[in-house]
Amino acid sequence: MAKFTPAMVAVLALLIVGFLMARTYGEIKVQEGRAEREARQAQREERRQQRRLDRATDELRSAERELRRRLRGIERDR
């Protein structure tokens, strides 16, 4: 039966700890990447909503100008 020396046990322990640390680091990086992607997606969605709001505002202003123009024409015709 093989006898393990203290040095062999220490090396094995370091390998196990290193593996666990690497795995944890990898999981952290995956989570960070996911969080960054979600943040970028949220920013894109926010910009899209803002553009939509800006377009709707422009349409309302345009309709308001058109109505005012028509009203002036009606008042002028009286």
Q: How far is CA 23 from CA 20, 26, 39, in A?
A: 5, 5, 24
Report residue 76's pLDDT band, with 50, 70 and 90 as the boundaries: confident
Supply the range of the domain harboring residue 59.
Answer: 41-78
Give me the number of domains the chain comprises. 1
**Residue 51, both tokens:** 């553009």
Question: Could you tell me where the beta strands, DSSP code E, fall in 17-78?
Answer: none
Whole-model pTM: value is: 0.61
Beta strands in the chain (DSSP E): none
Mean pLDDT of 51-66: 98
pLDDT in the model for residue 1: 65
Q: What is the pLDDT of residues 9-36, one digit of tens each?
A: 999 999 999 999 999 999 999 999 999 9
The answer to whether residue 14 is domain-embedded is no
Average pLDDT, the chain: 95
Asked whether residue 61 is assigned to any structural domain, the reply reads yes
pLDDT over threshold 70, residue 78: yes
